[in-house]
Amino acid sequence: MYAQRNPVSRPSGEFYIYFINTLLDHSGQEYEAFTPITMELPEESGIEPDYCFYINNWEAISGKDRINRGIDPSPDLVIEIDVTSYTDVNDYLPYGVPEVWLLRKNQLLIYQLQDEGYTLESSSRYFPNINVFEVVRDCLQIAYERNTSFAIRQLRQKLASQ
């Protein structure tokens, strides 16, 4: 059993970028990650997701200093960590982001773009063979009890043994 941490000490937002990077690396997917980027359309107010991942479209933005919304594709996966305000997943509709992960009160919600709207899903299209909810829960528990780096090392070991 791990020593209990101070209840105010929570895994930082970087936990989720390490988590996604580990899953992407394990699955052998190439990607680019950004934090944060402002997504704007002339007729829409801008949004700024906490983390963005280009997975299927990584080549389109590789090596760029700036993402040009008029030319470059939207991220494939965005993560929003809601602490004080709540994101409406439909804010991403005009941008056509295929998958949005919302984290509220340590609960993961995965939304996928289907036809003309987002639907709540039980798995990620980018990690179809991984129970993301279970793995996030387990990693967060370890991160709370010990620390993020240990949780990510444990995740790598678990994935390698599968």
Structure tokens at 143: 């991160």
- Please report the pLDDT score of residue 152 as a whole number: 95
d(CA 113, CA 135): 23
CB atoms within 10 A of CB 13: 15
- Please report the pLDDT score of residue 92 as a whole number: 87
Q: State mean pLDDT over 80-106.
A: 84
Choice among 82-86, 131-135, 145-149 with the minimum mean pLDDT: 82-86
- Please report the pLDDT score of residue 39 as a whole number: 56
Bridge partners (DSSP) of residue 103 are 81, 108
Choice among 16-30, 85-99, 117-131 with the minimum mean pLDDT: 85-99
> CATH fold of 14-160, please?
tt1808, chain A (3.90.1570)
Q: State mean pLDDT over 8-16.
A: 64
d(CA 100, CA 104): 13
- Please report the pLDDT score of residue 1 as a whole number: 43
Q: Where are the domains of the chain?
A: 14-160
- pTM equals 0.83
For residue 100, the 8-state DSSP code is E
Beta strand segments in the chain, E: 32-34, 51-54, 77-82, 99-104, 107-114, 117-121
Are residues 95 and 8 in contact, defined by beta-carbon separation less than 8 angstroms? no
- Please report the pLDDT score of residue 9 as a whole number: 47
Q: How confident is the model at residue 4 (pLDDT cuts 50, 70, 90)?
A: very low
- Please report the pLDDT score of residue 12 as a whole number: 62
- Please report the pLDDT score of residue 43 as a whole number: 58
Place of tokens 């990693």: 139
